[in-house]
């Protein structure tokens, strides 16, 4: 069983000391989905949302969130990110309630002593929240689903991919 590193033996929360760890290239990929009405997705794709270009704003929000992750996750280290990529795709297959969606995949990179999983997850979360914020006037029933880590590379633990011996 893996020990929870963000707690002392006495059970107090702490920021892990990574000063003895070597710098390595770190990559993390996260994803999530925002479900919405078919008409909402159509309006996003045709650029007819009154607040502007939804996906461009969500892309910027995702990058800003990745850069500010340590400000909102209490025990997260400040990292010098070397790159953040944001990719949106349509989820055209309706779910049981007839909703389609937008999937976001975010990739965060750095060279450092600790991983970038939280940065990739924050980026995915804020991208979806930004879309929600920009479209809520026409579709308050939107819902965010499955924000999750897809893959991480680097550091002592090496490569982890969702679905391969989780």
pLDDT at 157: 85
Q: Which residue has the tokens 């997705």?
A: 41
133 a catalytic residue: yes
Domains present along the chain, CATH in parentheses: 24-154 (3.30.70.640)
Max avg pLDDT among 19-23, 76-80, 121-125: 121-125
pLDDT above 70 covers a percentage of the chain that reads 92
pLDDT at 8: 67
Q: How confident is the model at residue 92 (pLDDT cuts 50, 70, 90)?
A: confident
Give the DSSP letter string of 110-162.
EEESS--HHHHHHHHHHHHHHHHHHHTTT-TT-EEEEEEEEEEE-STT--EET
Quote the pTM value.
0.90
Residue 76: DSSP 8-state: P
Q: Retrieve residue 137's tokens.
A: 């006037």
Q: How confident is the model at residue 15 (pLDDT cuts 50, 70, 90)?
A: confident
pLDDT at 16: 72
pLDDT (tens digit, 9 = 90+) per residue, 40-76? 999 999 988 888 899 999 999 999 999 999 999 988 8
Q: Is the dihedral of CA 4, 10, 15, 18 positive or negative?
A: negative
Whether the pLDDT of residue 1 is over 60: the answer is: no
3-state class (DSSP) for residue 88: strand
Mean pLDDT of the chain: 91
The answer to whether 62 touches 126, Cβ cutoff 8 Å, is yes
Please pick, among 23, 90, 133, 139, the residue that the annotation labels catalytic.
133
pLDDT (tens digit, 9 = 90+) per residue, 104-139? 999 999 998 888 999 999 999 999 999 999 999 999
Nearest C-alpha neighbor of 148 from the set 111, 122, 109:
122
């Amino acid at each position: 069983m893996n020990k929870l590193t963000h707690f002392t033996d006495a059970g107090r929360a702490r920021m892990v000391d990574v000063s003895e760890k070597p710098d390595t290239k770190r990559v993390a990929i996260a994803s999530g989905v925002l479900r919405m009405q078919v008409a909402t997705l159509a309006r996003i794709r045709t650029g007819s949302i009154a607040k502007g270009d939804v996906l461009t704003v969500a892309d910027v929000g995702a990058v800003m969130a990745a850069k500010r992750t340590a400000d909102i996750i209490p025990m997260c280290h400040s990292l010098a990110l070397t790159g953040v990529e944001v990719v949106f795709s349509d989820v055209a297959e309706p779910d049981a309630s007839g909703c389609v969606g937008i999937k976001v995949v975010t990739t965060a990179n750095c060279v450092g002593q600790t991983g970038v999983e939280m940065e990739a997850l924050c980026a995915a979360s804020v991208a979806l929240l930004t879309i929600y914020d920009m479209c809520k006037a026409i579709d308050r029933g939107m819902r965010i689903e499955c924000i999750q880590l897809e893959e991480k590379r680097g550091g002592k633990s090496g490569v982890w991919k969702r679905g391969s011996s989780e």
